[in-house]
C-alpha cells in the first residue's frame, strides 16, 4: 500500500511539467533576445565565475517554508542578483544562476521533476529581472557600469522584486496544480515572509553595491557587516526554532492532557507530532495487551483522518519494543543494515521511540520521511520525540485507566458481564429506538440454591457457580442479545424478539442449555434456574418496570413446572398483596390469630388413623383466607419464619398432649423450611417444647422438603442429627420432585419418605408415574423407611398403593385439612368400633 501511495505521488508530481515547460521556453527566448541586444553579450568570465560561486553559496543556505508535501524555499539570491545585474551582462548572469542552481540541486539529490522546475523557474525569473533592467536601464555606458544613483537603485530593486514575484508565483502555481488549492491563510504564510525577506535582501544588496563603489577598502567594512549579520541571523533563527519547538511541545502536551479518551487522543497526538517534526508519517503502535486490542494508526500528510499505513518496517518496531532503546535512522545516523531495511520500505529516514509505563514498554511512537528533499531527521529530533513519547505514554496509561474505570462501572467484576447499570441503560436505549410492532424482551435467570452452596462449600464455590452460569449464558444467548448479571444470583438477557411467546420459547431453550452438572471434588451439583420474562411494550415501557416485573415472574417461576414464567398482572397484585401482609402477619402471630388445621394420615392396609399433619391457616380480616404459600413467603422474607414455625409446633404439641390422654393417641407432623435447618438453636428449642407439653419425641415428625435435605451438601446434617438424637422422627416431603439419588437417603438420619402428589395422582393413568412410585416404595422399604403417599384421591389409586406395599396415605379420599373441632367430629363420624385380639379399635369406614 505504501508503494502504491508513492506511485500516486509521482504521477501527481509529473503535472509540474505543465509549468516547467513554458517557463523554460520563456527563459530561452528572453535570454536570446537580451544576448543579441545587450553589448557586450558575455562580459568577463572571471567575474561570471565569482558570481557563480556566490549563487552556489546562497543556494546551499536556504530559508525553508513547508507547504504540504512541498518544501518552499526562500533563497537569499536577491543580494548577489542585485550586484550581478549591475556588474555582469544578462547572458553571463542567467548562465551563472542556472548553473549554480543545477549544481546545488544535484548536491541535494533532488528528483528530476523538482530540479528542472527550480532550474526553469529561476532561469525565467532571472531573465525577467534582466528584461526589466534592459527596459528601464541602461545601467552600463559603453560596456562598463556607470555610477549607481537613486534611479539605478530603483531599477535594480524593481527588477529583483519582479524576479521574486515571478518565482513565487511559479512555486504557488505548481503546488496548487500538484496538491490542490492552497487555503488563503496558508498562502499568506508563504507570501508575507517571502516578500519581507526579499525586501531585506534587496536593501542589503543595494547597500553592498554602494559600499563597493567607495573603494577596495570598503570590503573590510562589508565583511564586518556581513559577519555581524550572519551571527545575528543564526542567533535569531535558533531562538525562533527553539521558541517554536517549545510552544508546539506545550500545545501538544496540553492537547494530550485535555483529551482523555483513547479514540480522540490518538488523532490529536499523531497529527500534532507529524506537524511538529515535519514528517510524512507519524505512527502510534500499541501491541495487544489483555483486554486491549492491537493499535496501529498513522497520521499522514494531506490525510485528515488516521490510516493504517506506516513508513517503518515491523522489524524495527519489534526491535524497539524488545530493547526499549530509541532507533534513529537517517542520511548520517543509524545502523547501515537498518537503513537498508528502511529504504526497502520506501522511507529515507525514521525515528522509533519506546512508550514506557514504568519499566515495561507498552508500544512505540514513530515518525518517518522528513519532508523536503534535502531535510533529514537527526539526533535533535530523536530527543524531541523522546520528550513527546514520555507525555504520550502517560496519556495512554491514563486513557486506559479511564477505560478500565468506565468498563468496571458498567460490568460485573466476577463474571465480566454487563452489570445492572449497563442492562438498565441498554433496555432504555432499546425501548427508545424500537420500531412500531417490535418487542424488547428481558429474561431474568435466578440461580437456585446459591446460598446453600455459599454456606456449605464457601463463597469461592459460589463464585465458580456464577462464573460457569455466565459462561453458559454467553454461549447459548443469541448474537444480538446482551447478557448481564443483576445481583448475587440473578442474570439478565435482553434482546429484540417478535413476540412474548417467542421470548418464552427462547427462555425455555436457554434454561435447558445451561442445565448441567458442576463438580466440586466428590460433590456434584445441578445448575438449576428459574426464569422470569417481561416484554416491552406488553409489560412495561421503561427499564425499571420491566426489571421489577421480570423479577416477580422469576419468583413465581420457582413454583411452576418448567420454571419459566411470563409476567402477568396477577403476579404483581399478588406481590403487592404479600407486601401489605407483612405487618399484618406480625400482628396475627403476636395475637394468636393464625389457626392450625389437621389433615389425617391413614394406614392403607387397615385404614387406621395414626396421625395428622399440622397446617397453618390465616383468615385475614380484610383479604379473607390468605394462601399458605403467600404468608409463608412473607414470613421467610421478613424474618418471622421461626415465630410462625413455633406457633404451629406449639398448637400441634398441645393437641397431641390432649389426644394422648384419650383412647386414640395421634402423632403430629410439622413442616420445616430449609432455612430452619441452619438454625443451631432450633433442636434445643424443640426439646424444651416437648418437655413443656409432655409429649414423647417419637410422636413428633418434622417434614422437610426434598430440596432442603437433599441439596448435595452436608449443610443440614448437624441439625438433622441433633433432632434424631432427641428422638424426633424426620420425613422427606415431596420426594421425587428434585434430582437427588434415592441412594443418598442412606446417608440421612430420616425415618420417612413422602411421595409427591404429582406422581401419586398420576398412577392410575400414567405407567411412568406408577413405576416411579413403585421404585420409591421398594427402595425405601429396603432402607427401613416408612413411605407416605400424598394426594390419595381415588379408590383405584388406593388399591394400586396397597398392591405395591405402600404403608400410609394422605389425601382428600380420607379428608381435607380440618380445624381441631371438625377433626374430632369427622373422626367420630367416619370410624366404627371393631373388636380385635388387642381390644376394641376404631377404623375408618369404607369410602363408597
CA–CA dist 171, 175 (Å, integer) = 6
Q: Which residue has the higher pLDDT, 120 or 437?
A: 120
Q: Which of 66-80, 105-119, 560-574, 589-603 has the lowest mean pLDDT?
A: 66-80
Helix (H, G, I), strand (E, B) or coil at 97: helix
CA–CA dist 441, 507 (Å, integer) = 10
Provide mean pLDDT across the span 729-745: 68
Provide mean pLDDT across the span 513-526: 75
- Check residue 236 and give its pLDDT: 58
Decide if 559 contacts 746 (C-beta within 8 A): no
Q: Which of 36-50, 391-405, 733-747 has the lowest mean pLDDT?
A: 733-747
CA–CA dist 665, 650 (Å, integer) = 17
pLDDT classification of 251: cutoffs 50, 70, 90: low
pLDDT classification of 3: cutoffs 50, 70, 90: very low
Give per-residue pLDDT as tens, 754-806.
888 888 988 888 888 888 899 889 888 888 889 999 989 888 999 999 999 99
Query: Got the DSSP string for 205-233?
Result: HHHHHHHHTT-TTHHHHHHHHHHHHHHHH
Q: Over pLDDT 70: what percentage of the chain?
A: 82
- Check residue 458 and give its pLDDT: 78
pLDDT at position 685 over 80 = yes
Percentage helix, strand, coil, to 5, in the chain? 55, 20, 25
Q: Are strands 700-705 and 667-672 parallel, antiparallel or unpaired?
A: parallel
Query: Any residues with CB less than 8 A from the CB of 303 and at least 6 apart, and which?
Result: none
Q: Which residue has the higher pLDDT, 129 or 424?
A: 424
Please name which of 741, 743, 739 lies closest in space to residue 527, comparing C-alpha atoms: 739
Q: Are strands 295-300 and 279-286 parallel, antiparallel or unpaired?
A: antiparallel
pLDDT classification of 739: cutoffs 50, 70, 90: very low
- Check residue 573 and give its pLDDT: 59
Provide mean pLDDT across the span 637-656: 89
For the chain, the average pLDDT equals 80
pLDDT at position 222 over 80 = no
Q: Which of 40-44, 315-319, 359-363, 770-774 has the lowest mean pLDDT?
A: 40-44
Q: Are strands 700-705 and 752-755 parallel, antiparallel or unpaired?
A: unpaired
- Check residue 140 and give its pLDDT: 62
Residues of 796-828 as b/e, b for ≥16 C-beta within 10 angstroms? ebbebbeebebbbbbbeebbebbeeeebbebbe
pLDDT at position 494 over 90 = yes
- Check residue 689 and give its pLDDT: 92
pLDDT at position 728 over 90 = yes
- Check residue 1 and give its pLDDT: 40
Q: Which of 351-360, 515-524, 601-610 has the lowest mean pLDDT?
A: 515-524
pLDDT at position 741 over 70 = no
pLDDT at position 214 over 80 = no
Q: Which residue has the higher pLDDT, 19 or 428?
A: 428
pLDDT at position 737 over 80 = no
Alpha helical stretches, state H, 603-640? 628-637
pLDDT classification of 43: cutoffs 50, 70, 90: low
Provide mean pLDDT across the span 199-219: 75
CA–CA dist 276, 384 (Å, integer) = 9
Q: Which residue has the higher pLDDT, 107 or 669?
A: 669
pTM of the model: 0.51
pLDDT classification of 420: cutoffs 50, 70, 90: very high
Give per-residue pLDDT as tens, 49-106.
877 878 787 777 765 544 444 444 556 777 888 878 777 778 888 888 888 888 877 7
- Check residue 482 and give its pLDDT: 93
Q: Which residue has the higher pLDDT, 623 or 640?
A: 640
- Check residue 638 and give its pLDDT: 79
Provide mean pLDDT across the span 20-44: 76
Q: How many CB atoms lie within 10 A of CB 294?
A: 10
Provide mean pLDDT across the span 16-40: 79
- Check residue 71 and give its pLDDT: 44
Q: Are strands 327-329 and 350-357 parallel, antiparallel or unpaired?
A: antiparallel
Give the DSSP H or E segment for 518: strand 517-520
pLDDT at position 613 over 90 = yes
pLDDT at position 444 over 90 = yes
Q: What is the DSSP letter of 435?
A: P
- Check residue 362 and give its pLDDT: 86
pLDDT at position 738 over 80 = no
- Check residue 727 and give its pLDDT: 92
- Check residue 712 and give its pLDDT: 52
Decide if 534 contacts 540 (C-beta within 8 A): yes
- Check residue 233 and give its pLDDT: 57
Maximum CA pair distance of the chain? 170
pLDDT at position 681 over 90 = no
Query: Any residues with CB less than 8 A from the CB of 120 and at least 6 apart, and which?
Result: 20, 21, 23, 24, 27
pLDDT classification of 576: cutoffs 50, 70, 90: low
CA–CA dist 152, 138 (Å, integer) = 9
- Check residue 232 and give its pLDDT: 66
What angle is formed at CA 376 by the lines to CA 372 and CA 380, rounded to 5 degrees? 130
Amino acid at each position: 500500500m505504501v508503494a502504491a501511495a508513492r506511485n500516486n505521488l509521482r504521477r501527481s508530481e509529473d503535472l509540474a511539467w505543465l509549468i516547467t515547460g513554458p517557463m523554460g521556453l520563456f527563459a530561452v527566448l528572453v535570454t536570446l533576445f537580451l544576448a543579441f541586444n545587450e553589448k557586450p553579450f558575455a562580459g568577463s568570465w572571471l567575474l561570471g565565475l565569482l558570481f557563480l560561486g556566490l549563487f552556489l553559496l546562497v543556494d546551499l543556505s536556504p530559508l525553508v517554508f513547508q507547504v504540504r508535501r512541498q518544501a518552499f524555499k526562500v533563497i537569499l539570491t536577491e543580494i548577489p542578483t542585485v550586484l550581478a545585474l549591475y556588474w555582469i551582462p544578462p547572458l553571463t548572469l542567467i548562465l551563472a544562476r542556472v548553473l549554480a542552481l543545477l549544481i546545488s540541486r544535484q548536491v541535494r539529490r533532488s528528483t528530476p521533476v523538482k530540479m528542472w522546475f527550480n532550474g526553469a523557474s529561476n532561469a525565467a525569473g532571472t531573465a525577467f529581472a534582466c528584461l526589466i533592467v534592459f527596459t528601464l536601464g541602461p545601467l552600463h555606458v559603453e560596456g562598463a557600469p556607470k555610477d549607481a544613483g537613486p534611479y539605478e537603485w530603483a531599477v535594480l530593486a524593481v527588477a529583483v522584486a519582479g524576479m521574486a514575484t515571478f518565482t513565487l508565483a511559479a512555486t504557488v502555481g505548481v503546488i496548487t496544480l500538484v496538491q490542490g488549492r492552497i487555503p488563503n491563510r496558508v498562502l499568506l504564510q508563504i507570501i508575507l515572509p517571502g516578500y519581507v525577506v526579499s525586501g531585506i535582501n534587496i536593501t542589503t544588496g543595494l547597500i553592498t553595491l554602494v559600499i563597493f563603489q567607495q573603494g577596495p577598502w570598503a570590503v573590510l567594512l562589508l565583511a564586518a557587516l556581513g559577519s555581524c549579520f550572519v551571527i545575528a541571523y543564526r542567533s535569531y533563527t535558533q531562538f525562533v526554532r527553539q521558541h517554536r519547538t517549545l510552544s508546539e511541545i506545550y500545545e501538544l502536551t496540553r492537547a494530550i492532557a485535555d483529551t482523555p479518551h483513547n479514540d480522540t487522543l490518538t488523532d490529536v497526538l499523531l497529527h500534532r507530532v507529524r506537524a511538529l517534526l515535519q514528517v510524512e508519517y507519524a505512527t502510534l503502535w500499541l501491541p495487544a495487551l489483555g483486554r486491549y486490542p492491537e493499535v496501529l494508526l498513522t497520521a499522514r500528510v494531506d490525510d485528515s483522518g488516521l490510516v493504517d499505513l506506516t513508513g517503518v518496517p515491523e522489524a524495527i518496531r519489534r526491535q524497539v519494543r524488545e530493547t526499549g532503546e530509541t532507533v534513529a535512522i537517517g542520511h548520517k545516523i543509524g545502523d547501515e543494515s537498518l537503513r537498508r531495511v528502511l529504504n526497502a520500505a520506501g522511507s529515507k529516514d525514521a525515528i522509533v521511540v519506546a512508550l514506557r509505563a514504568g519499566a515495561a514498554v507498552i508500544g512505540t511512537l514513530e515518525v518517518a520521511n522528513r519532508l523536503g528533499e534535502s531535510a533529514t531527521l537527526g539526533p535533535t529530533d530523536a530527543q524531541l520525540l523522546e520528550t513527546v513519547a514520555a507525555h504520550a505514554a502517560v496519556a495512554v496509561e491514563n486513557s486506559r485507566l479511564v477505560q478500565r474505570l468506565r468498563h468496571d462501572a458498567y460490568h460485573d467484576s466476577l463474571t465480566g458481564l454487563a452489570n445492572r447499570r449497563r442492562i438498565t441503560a441498554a433496555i432504555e436505549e432499546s425501548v427508545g429506538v424500537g420500531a412500531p410492532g417490535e418487542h424488547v424482551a428481558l429474561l431474568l435467570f435466578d440461580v437456585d440454591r446459591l446460598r446453600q452452596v455459599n454456606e456449605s462449600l464457601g463463597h469461592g464455590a459460589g463464585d465458580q457457580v456464577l462464573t460457569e452460569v455466565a459462561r453458559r449464558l454467553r454461549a447459548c444467548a443469541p448474537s444480538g442479545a446482551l447478557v448481564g448479571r443483576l445481583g448475587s444470583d440473578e442474570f439478565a438477557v435482553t434482546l429484540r424478539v417478535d413476540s412474548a411467546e417467542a421470548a418464552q420459547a427462547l427462555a425455555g431453550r436457554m434454561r435447558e442449555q445451561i442445565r448441567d452438572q458442576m463438580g466440586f471434588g466428590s460433590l456434584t451439583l445441578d445448575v438449576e434456574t428459574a426464569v422470569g420474562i417481561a416484554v416491552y411494550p406488553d409489560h412495561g415501557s421503561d427499564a425499571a418496570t420491566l426489571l421489577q416485573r421480570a423479577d416477580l415472574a422469576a419468583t413465581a417461576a420457582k413454583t411452576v413446572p418448567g420454571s419459566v414464567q411470563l409476567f402477568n398482572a396477577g403476579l404483581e397484585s399478588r406481590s403487592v398483596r404479600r407486601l401489605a401482609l407483612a405487618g399484618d402477619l406480625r400482628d396475627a402471630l403476636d395475637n394468636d390469630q393464625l389457626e392450625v388445621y389437621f389433615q389425617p394420615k391413614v394406614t392403607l392396609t387397615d385404614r387406621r388413623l395414626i396421625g395428622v399433619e399440622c397446617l397453618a391457616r390465616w383468615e385475614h380480616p380484610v383479604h379473607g383466607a390468605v394462601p399458605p404459600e403467600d404468608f409463608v413467603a412473607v414470613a421467610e422474607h421478613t424474618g418471622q419464619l421461626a415465630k410462625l414455625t413455633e406457633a404451629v409446633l406449639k398448637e400441634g404439641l398441645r393437641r397431641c398432649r390432649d389426644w394422648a390422654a384419650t383412647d386414640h393417641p395421634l402423632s403430629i407432623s410439622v413442616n420445616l423450611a430449609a432455612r430452619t435447618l441452619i438454625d443451631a438453636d432450633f433442636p434445643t428449642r424443640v426439646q424444651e417444647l416437648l418437655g413443656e407439653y409432655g409429649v414423647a419425641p417419637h410422636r413428633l415428625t418434622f417434614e422437610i422438603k426434598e430440596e432442603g435435605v437433599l441439596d448435595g451438601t452436608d449443610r443440614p446434617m448437624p441439625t438433622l442429627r441433633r433432632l434424631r438424637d432427641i428422638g424426633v422422627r424426620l420425613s422427606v416431603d415431596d420426594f421425587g420432585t428434585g434430582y437427588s439419588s434415592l441412594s443418598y437417603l442412606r446417608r440421612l438420619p430420616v425415618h420417612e419418605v413422602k411421595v409427591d402428589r404429582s406422581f401419586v395422582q398420576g398412577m392410575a393413568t400414567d405407567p411412568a408415574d406408577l413405576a416411579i412410585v413403585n421404585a420409591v416404595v421398594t427402595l425405601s422399604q429396603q432402607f427401613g423407611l416408612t413411605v407416605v403417599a400424598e394426594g390419595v384421591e381415588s379408590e383405584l389409586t388406593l388399591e394400586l398403593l396397597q398392591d405395591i406395599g405402600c404403608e400410609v396415605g394422605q389425601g382428600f379420599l380420607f379428608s381435607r385439612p380440618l380445624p381441631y373441632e371438625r377433626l374430632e367430629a369427622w373422626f367420630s363420624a367416619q370410624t366404627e368400633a371393631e373388636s380385635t385380639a388387642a381390644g376394641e379399635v376404631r377404623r375408618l369406614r369404607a369410602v363408597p
